[in-house]
Amino acid sequence: MSFLSREATVAKPGFSRWLVPPAAVAVHMCIGQVYAFSVFNKPLSAELGVPVSRVNAAYMIALVMLGLSAAVFGKWVERVGPRKTMLAACLCFCGGLLLAALGVKLKMLWLILFGYGFVGGTGLGLGYIAPVSTLVKWFPDRPGMATGMAIMGFGGGALIASPLSQELMARFAREWGGTGATSTLVTLALLYACFMIFGACIVRVPAPGWKPDGYEPKATAANSMITSASVSVDTAWKTPQFWLLWTMLCMNVSAGIGVLGRAADMCQDMFGVSAAIGAGFTGLLSISNMSGRFLWSTVSDLTGRKTVYCLYFLLGIALYALLPHAQQTQNRVLFVICAAVIISMYGGGFSTIPAYLKDLFGTHHVGAIHGRLITAWSMAAVIGPTLINGFYDSRVAAGLPKAQAYNGTFYLMCGLLAIGLVANLLVRPVDPKHHVNDTASA
Amino acid sequence: MKALLIWIIVVIPLLWGVTQSVKKSLPLFGVEAVAKK
């Protein structure tokens, strides 16, 4: 029996399920580095002598590859289990960082784009979905909390990678000259490899038929939003429920990016504060993003997924609509509180979706279905900033002061969230004709 | 004991990251000096 096989990861009796979330967090914490790629923009631009926008293409490619690889390899991930997937993610992601380091050394932009964007991005997708179905199976009583923990790790990854990369680059630059980017990428690759291998070694899947002590699945009524049956991935993505959830995720992410992507500039333009305060605002939003992933997802176990998404959208609309008022009255505290809650719900949207999928489609292929749904994120990462920046630029071009030009984009965000709300309200239980029989789903 | 050690290994980097972000966000609350350290 191979160490990497699914069979080798089946937990022995007495194994504590609380050892599985750290494995998931270890992997997500590493791949969350992608959110902090912007710290390499200027150093890589200086090393290669190309504009920042061309370097930043590596980040965009990585996010697109995240969605594509999660969608393409979802079924493979379900088949081979979390350990082999985590190691594959480690090879791709850390290999991508090493290729990018080589690209910087040889001054080859295409190698950075291929290494970090294509190869590393594939690792992101694999690493992102690897622990999801495992966690859902270990925590059938609290799937929101379990996936929230892992996906919180992804948000936390950016909090670690950004200051760590800056610190390493500064040290290497002092020691060996240059920007220090090459050595930093190599160091990160080695550090992340250690953590991802650690995660792969400790991860376990539950034995067939295992359930937590004292847990009895509730008998589900025909119209219940939580099913005890399962739907295969090939059927799931043809159902309206899949596309409604896809729309919800896409709208929630697009709306969150509206604040997150321009946070520092927005704070400075709207309130005339210093760059340090603008950066402080970004720091606060990063913490909100991370904590929201765990808190809101845990709340969804108590309220139900549909209710919590209604809350994300309704509260999001109300808070976005308040932001122009905060600007007009120069109420900085109100602005900061509204933005922090909005971003916490942006994070919550990511972490609650696997549990929503589990409720609607069962646990059989939840990782693979989640993988296909992640394409909504890739789409939002491209269309969100394009839409928002385009709208903002058009308002500035029309002669509106910068401080007020943001107000229109906030109403645009309300519109996106309203589309998400309608999609959520339309979600109904999956037609039983799509359910696979019990023997197939075991 | 083993479980505690495993949790510590993943929680420490996260706490370090959160601490860095808290320090970064201090100017927002009017605390410039600590953030610059």
pLDDT digits (tens, 9 = 90+) for A333-357: 899 999 999 999 999 999 999 999 9
Contacts of A286 in chain B (CB under 8 A): 21
Say yes or no for a CB contact (<8 Å) between B35 and A280: yes
* Residue A347, amino acid: G
Rounded to whole angstroms, how far apart are CA atoms A41 and A46? 9
pLDDT band at A240 (very low <50, low <70, confident <90, very high): very high
pLDDT band at A221 (very low <50, low <70, confident <90, very high): low
Say yes or no for a CB contact (<8 Å) between A29 and B13: yes
Look at residue A234 and tell me whether its pLDDT is greater than 80. Answer: yes
Report the residue of B2, B7, B14 to disrupt the A interface, i.e. the one with the largest count of A CBs within 10 Å: B14
Q: How far is A312 from chain B (nearest CA, A)?
A: 24
Identify whether the C-beta of residue A330 lies closer than 8 Å to the C-beta of residue A269: no
pLDDT in tens, A246-275: 999 999 999 987 677 778 788 888 888 888
Q: How far is A323 from chain B (nearest CA, A)?
A: 17
Task: Supply the pLDDT for residue A442.
Answer: 37
Tokens of A71: 């969608």
CB-based contact, A223 to chain B, within 8 Å: no
Say yes or no for a CB contact (<8 Å) between A25 and B14: yes
Contacts of A157 in chain B (CB under 8 A): 17
Say yes or no for a CB contact (<8 Å) between B18 and A159: yes
Residue A313's nearest CA partner among A385, A413, A396, A218 is A413
Average pLDDT of the segment spanning A297-302: 94
| Angle, in degrees to the nearest 10, between helices A332-361 and A263-271 | 150
Three-state DSSP string of A49-111: CCCHHHHCHHHHHHHHHHHHHHHHHHHHHHHHCHHHHHHHHHHHHHHHHHHHHHHHHHCCHHH
Q: How far is A147 from chain B (nearest CA, A)?
A: 16
Average pLDDT of the segment spanning A193-208: 94
Say yes or no for a CB contact (<8 Å) between B14 and A287: no
Q: Which residue from B6, B10, B21 is facing A29, i.e. has the nearest CB?
A: B10
Residue A112's nearest CA partner among A31, A192, A177, A50 is A50
* CB interface of B with A, residues 4-23, below 8 Å: 6-7, 9-10, 13-14, 16-18, 20-23
What is the predicted ipTM? Answer: 0.87
Task: Supply the pLDDT for residue A401.
Answer: 84
Task: Supply the pLDDT for residue A222.
Answer: 56
Q: What does residue A54 show for φ and ψ, rounded to 5 degrees?
A: -75, -35
pLDDT in tens, A54-99: 888 898 899 889 989 999 998 899 889 999 999 999 999 999 999 9
Q: How far is B9 from chain A (nearest CA, A)?
A: 8
Rounded to whole angstroms, how far apart are CA atoms A428 and A437? 21
Identify whether the C-beta of residue A20 lies closer than 8 Å to the C-beta of residue A134: yes
CB-based contact, A281 to chain B, within 8 Å: yes
CB-based contact, B3 to chain A, within 8 Å: yes
Helices (H), A272-304: 275-303
Say yes or no for a CB contact (<8 Å) between A287 and B28: no
Rounded to whole angstroms, how far apart are CA atoms A350 and A49? 36
pLDDT in tens, A388-399: 778 888 888 888
Look at residue B37 and tell me whether its pLDDT is greater than 80. Answer: no
Which residue pairs from A269-275 have beta carbons closer than 8 angstroms and sit at least 24 positions apart in sequence? A269/A402, A269/A403, A269/A406, A270/A327, A270/A335, A270/A403, A270/A406, A271/A327, A271/A330, A271/A332, A271/A335, A272/A403, A273/A332, A274/B27
Say yes or no for a CB contact (<8 Å) between A26 and B9: yes
Least confident stretch, A21-25, A42-46, A129-133, A275-279:
A275-279
Rounded to whole angstroms, how far apart are CA atoms A182 and A165? 11
Report the residue of A284, A285, A291 to disrupt the B interface, i.e. the one with the largest count of B CBs within 10 Å: A284
CB pairs under 8 A between A and B: 76
Averaged confidence pLDDT in chain A = 89
